[in-house]
């Protein structure tokens, strides 16, 4: 199953690959060169399909847990000052997505969308210290029935040129369901209450909608 954000790109890629195969078959007579070019076209199509895949995830709905919003590797766990919405100290947990990861963003908890804002910006590499402040990004805050608020921030990287955010103010968020997509993009930051129990470690691989990042 492929994400709706990739349908147009997949169609264009498929048509381009078919055209490339026809051109190679018509103009290239060297069999080894033909095989090489066919392989390159096939790999390119495979990578595009891999990037836009949208696998089903089994999320166990739980008001006391925060699930990972994306697939990837945990690269930051630290206490920081969150300046945009909370304006106080929070625990930041950041997940970095490689190009081969699923790039769907999912709601980390259920509740109401209390804040949603898009910020244009730069395209620094995702691990740059200033990426969360200067790169193109979206900030979303979800508040659950227990008045617990969690902020997650989609951050573009050097390759990411478009962030898609479906979360609108006062929308109902359901834990584990799609809340956005980062095209060729790279990192999501979570900002959690200081009394959260963190269930992940640095460099741990996590799965969006399934891996439990923290318990409240």
Task: Determine the pLDDT at residue 126.
Answer: 58
How is residue 148 written in tokens? 């617990």
**Pairing assessment for the beta strands 137-143 and 72-82 based on DSSP bridges:** unpaired
Q: Which of 129, 127, 148 is nearest to 191 (CA)?
A: 148
**For the chain, what are the domain ranges?**
4-51, 65-215
Task: Determine the pLDDT at residue 81.
Answer: 96
pLDDT, tens digit, for every residue of 13-25? 999 999 999 999 8
Distance CA 95, CA 91 (A): 13
What is the residue-averaged pLDDT of the chain? Answer: 89
The radius of gyration of the chain from alpha carbons, rounded to an integer in Å, stands at: 19
Q: Which of 204, 213, 113 is nearest to 167 (CA)?
A: 113
Please name the CATH architecture into which domain 65-215 falls: Distorted Sandwich (2.70)
Task: Determine the pLDDT at residue 105.
Answer: 95
Quick one: pLDDT band at residue 207, thresholds 50, 70, 90?
A: very high
Quick one: pLDDT band at residue 10, thresholds 50, 70, 90?
A: confident
Tell me the mean pLDDT in the region 178-182.
91
**Pairing assessment for the beta strands 111-119 and 187-192 based on DSSP bridges:** unpaired
List the beta bridge partners of residue 155: 137, 187
Tell me the mean pLDDT in the region 102-116.
95
Clarify whether 186 is annotated catalytic. yes
Question: What pTM, to 2 d.p., does this model score?
Answer: 0.83
Window from 88-92, 123-127, 139-143, 155-159 with minimum mean pLDDT:
123-127
Element (H, E) at 24: helix 7-27
Task: Determine the pLDDT at residue 3.
Answer: 67
How is residue 77 written in tokens? 């766990």
Q: Which entry of 110, 116, 132, 186 is annotated as an active-site residue?
A: 186
């Amino acid at each position: 199953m492929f994400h709706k954000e990739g349908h147009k790109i997949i169609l264009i890629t498929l048509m381009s690959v078919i055209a490339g195969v026809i051109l190679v078959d018509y103009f290239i007579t060297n069999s080894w060169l033909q095989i090489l070019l066919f392989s390159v076209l096939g790999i390119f199509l495979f990578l595009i399909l891999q990037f836009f895949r949208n696998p089903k995830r089994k999320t166990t709905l739980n008001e006391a847990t925060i699930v990972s919003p994306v697939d990837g590797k945990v690269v930051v766990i630290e206490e920081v000052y969150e300046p945009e919405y909370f304006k106080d100290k929070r625990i930041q947990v950041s997940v970095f997505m490689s190009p081969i990861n699923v790039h769907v963003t999912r709601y980390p908890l259920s509740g109401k969308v209390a804040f949603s804002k898009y910020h244009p910006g730069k395209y620094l590499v995702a691990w740059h210290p200033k990426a969360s402040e200067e790169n193109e990004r979206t900030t979303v805050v979800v508040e659950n029935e227990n008045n617990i608020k969690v902020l997650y921030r989609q951050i573009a990287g050097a390759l990411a040129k478009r962030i898609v955010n479906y979360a609108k103010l006062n929308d109902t968020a359901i834990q584990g369901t799609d809340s956005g997509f980062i095209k060729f993009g790279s990192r999501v930051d979570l900002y959690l209450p200081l009394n959260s129990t963190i269930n992940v470690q640095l460099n741990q691989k996590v799965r969006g909608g399934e891996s439990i990042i923290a318990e409240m």
